[in-house]
Amino acid sequence: MDSISKELNINSNNILPTASPTLFAVVVHNTWLRKWLKNLEVDNNVNNLDFTLQPGESVPYPWKKIFIKVLNKKASKVLPLPRYKLNEINPETPLTFSQLIQYISQSNQRNLWKESYKKYCQNNESIKESTIINLLEHDQLLAEVILRLYGCNVIRVRTDASGKCIEIKDITNKHVLKSYETHVNLLAALFALETDNNFFIIYRGHYENHLLDCLNFSPNLIDKTYARGLFIVYQLLSVAKALCDRGLSVGTLRLQDIYMSEDLWLQIIPPMINNIHCLDPSLIFEKNKLNQSKSHPPESGQSSQKIGEEWCWRSDAVQLEKLCMLWVRGRISNLDYLLHLNVLAGRSANDPQAHFMVPWVTDFNSRCGRNWRDLSKSKYRLNKGDRQLDMTYDVTSCNGQIPHHVTDALSDITYYVYLARRTPKDTLCKYVRNKWVPAEYPASIQRMQEWTPDECIPEFYTDPTVFKSIHEDLPADAGRDRINPFASDCNLN
């Protein structure tokens, strides 16, 4: 985020993080985009207007929300990409689903045969000695990956000590770009910027929801018919084939890298790191070391076991298992455990629509320990009762939806009400009530707990400043108006 703000001169408040640590949703001015596309003179401060946008909020014209991916430069040598033949005249006809499955089956068989041949048949030392690998610079290969993926111009930017742009140079051959048309299921890039420290890929648009959101919050969108799941699989396989034909690898594609629209059209942002590999020193053939290895064969059992353990589990599963054991053994608190579960569930501390949530544990009617909340029932059930739950379940089942009792455990409106004393009035009027009426907001945390059918937020357990108000007409002095009487101050001692 800092590199985008400093090197591209974009207001940091207009840069929002995403599920990927290298991908950001950025609000930019249209003239800033035309500056790079048409080489126009534009004021560098055009993007300094502050937008306090929330996730899912639209951007007014002439502003636009786009994705920007940051790729760090490195001073290292890497393996070159596989060669492949450009098809400049007659592009291939898209394959049907059955043809695509057949292609994958043949590719898997061919790859397995190659691996077997290397393992059992290539024992001739003369073949190994004649093998020469010409390593490339990391940055050179990264530019080649960008070109093969997106077929966009890579613009080299040079700045002075003050950050002012002093040189702009297009470093891509334009006649080659036609051969690198972006696959329809890859999110297209407008252009790429190369600075002294990073590559910035400027994408054509922006998407709010990815495939993980769909599976977590709207699985019925895919489960409704069998064809929908096949359509998603078909798009993924088409992208994998297209990248393979260009000598690239999809690699470890995560659900968060697969953005989708309401009509199930996928727009994928594949990770670049899957195509950048440093040469393993153990693979470099040196005759004297090879001779030594013949007399003293290496013990590779430990290394192979380590690799096997590294790939046998998904990282999230391993993290969840370790986390659960730490909690069972009392190494971490209940709150820390729940916060980690929120992260694994795809929630974010910066997203009001999918904010961290934790349970209410008391109704504040008496001192701690006398009125613990019944955790076997949801907060919605405690507030609304069983009859309301049955009505909600019956209504959803009649409309052809997946029957459910609770619509949402923590809505964005409830989130803003919880933090009303720390949220600006214009934001509250935008998301809660059109008119500012302080009396409509709960006067104490006890009243708030009685009012809401939603769960709690971790800020009530960790941040004492939420009990102080920034609004003169919304009382919150020290905490006596919002927290229990037995607490004398909202500050942590």
The pair of structure tokens assigned to 302 is 């430990």
Question: Between the ranges 176-190, 329-343, 361-375, 395-409, where is the mean pLDDT highest?
Answer: 329-343
Q: Give me the phi and psi of 70, to 5 degrees please.
A: -105, 125
Q: How many C-beta atoms lie closer than 10 Å to residue 256's C-beta? A: 16
Q: Yes or no: say if 148 and 270 are a contact pair by the CB < 8 Å rule.
A: no
Q: Yes or no: say if 453 and 411 are a contact pair by the CB < 8 Å rule.
A: no
Instruction: Please tell me which residue, 341 or 169, carries the higher pLDDT value.
Output: 341
- Asked if residue 286 has pLDDT above 50, the reply is no
Report which DSSP code applies to 273: G
Give domain limits for the chain.
2-77+136-273, 304-346, 353-467
Q: How far apart are CA 192 and CA 153, in angstroms?
A: 6
First to last CA, the chain: 34
Q: How many C-beta atoms lie closer than 10 Å to residue 492's C-beta? A: 8
Report which DSSP code applies to 56: T
Using DSSP, state whether 304 is helix, strand or coil. Answer: helix
Q: Which residue has the tokens 């699989």?
A: 233
Per-residue confidence (pLDDT) for residue 337, from 0 to 100: 92
Using DSSP, state whether 95 is helix, strand or coil. Answer: coil
Report which DSSP code applies to 440: G
Average pLDDT over residues 61-81: 87
When the pLDDT of each residue in the chain is averaged and rounded to a whole number, the result is 77
Omega before residue 17 within 30° of 0, cis: no
For CA atoms 450, 454, 458, 464, the dihedral sign is negative
How many residues make up the chain in this entry? 493
Q: How far apart are CA 22 and CA 71, in angstroms?
A: 7
Using DSSP, state whether 77 is helix, strand or coil. Answer: strand
**Sorting pLDDT into bands at 50, 70 and 90, what band is 70?**
very high
CA atoms within 13 A on the CB side of 173: 6
- Asked if residue 176 has pLDDT above 60, the reply is no
Percent of the chain with pLDDT over 90: 12
**Sorting pLDDT into bands at 50, 70 and 90, what band is 317?**
low
Of 280, 276, 278, nearest to 303 (Cα)? 280
Of 233, 147, 236, nearest to 184 (Cα)? 236
Distance of CA 406 to the CA centre of its chain: 27
CA distances (Å), 320 to each of 126, 342, 346, in order? 49, 11, 13
